[in-house]
Amino acid sequence: MVTLEAYGNYETAWCPGCGNFSIQKAVKKALVASQLPPQRVLFVSGIGQAAKAPHYLNVNLFDGLHGRSVPVATGAKLSNPGLTVIVESGDGCNYGEGGNHFLAAIRRNIDVTLLVHNNQVYGLTKGQASPTSEPGFITKAQPEGVASVPFNPVAVAVTMRAGFVARAFSGLEDHLSGLIQQAIAHRGFSLIDILQPCVSFNKVNTFSWYKKRCRELPSDYDPKNREAALKVAEEWGERIPIGIIYRNDRPPFEDNFPVLQEGRLVGRQVDRNLLANVIESYR
């Protein structure tokens, strides 16, 4: 039986009051509720305060370059489909530096879960605007305010027919944990955009700001209605809907390759004669 203790308890480098703490608790609860032992889970992260989250878990971890988590996770999942592969990093890492990888993963529908800590700012590098910062947001690097329109990852994912698209709030820990469980269970690409406060560098989108606005979707909401999902994905301001906004049953990327139906690539014997013939054919 998998318990919370299996995932460890480590000292962190996060600021007191950071939204990362409750996200980490929700992740642990979801892994335990899914009865996933640590050795069957791989986390992949990039750079940033959010990307440190898997450092504080007793799991397999690959911590790569800024924005390059998703392609690493794709390779890991294809070579070992038996692993539960989760990418966890921030809005700057995934939607900025890793923006194109984000789009490619949705197109492929690779069976990984992407958890994005979205605090609308680059926290590790002291508060520059991120792709999701709102217009007019003032930082040391943008003293006259952000001029660009913010990236809406949820609307983009729905538009591209991602398999599982959800928005969550770090202040609703149990709700977030339930979403993570469902995302892990989904076969195909899963996105959870997690709204969270950055207590040090974002004095606008605070805990109370999110708490006043985040509202769970009603129980009769149908996430398979894409037209309705697009409208919900674009709601932002005085009311921000959270929950599973869109889902479908697209077959995952792995189902397109017969070689993967014969079992995982990891551990297979290499036919060196066949490999030599293939190399020779390209000379």
Q: What is the pLDDT of residues 125-163, one digit of tens each?
A: 888 999 999 999 999 889 999 999 999 999 999 999 999
- What distance in Å separates the CA atoms of residue 256 and residue 233, rounded to the nearest whole number? 30
Task: Name the E strands within 113-213.
Answer: 113-118, 121-122, 128-129, 164-169, 190-195
Q: Which residues of the chain have pLDDT under 70?
A: none
Is the pTM higher than 0.85? The answer reads yes
Residue 83 in tokens: 């692993």
Residue 49 in tokens: 């305060």
11: helix, strand or coil: coil
Residue 47 in tokens: 């750079």
- What distance in Å separates the CA atoms of residue 106 and residue 101, rounded to the nearest whole number? 9
pLDDT at 260: 83
Q: What is the pLDDT of residues 90-119, one digit of tens each?
A: 999 999 999 999 999 999 999 999 999 999
* Angle, CA of 183, 120 and 190, to the nearest 5°: 15
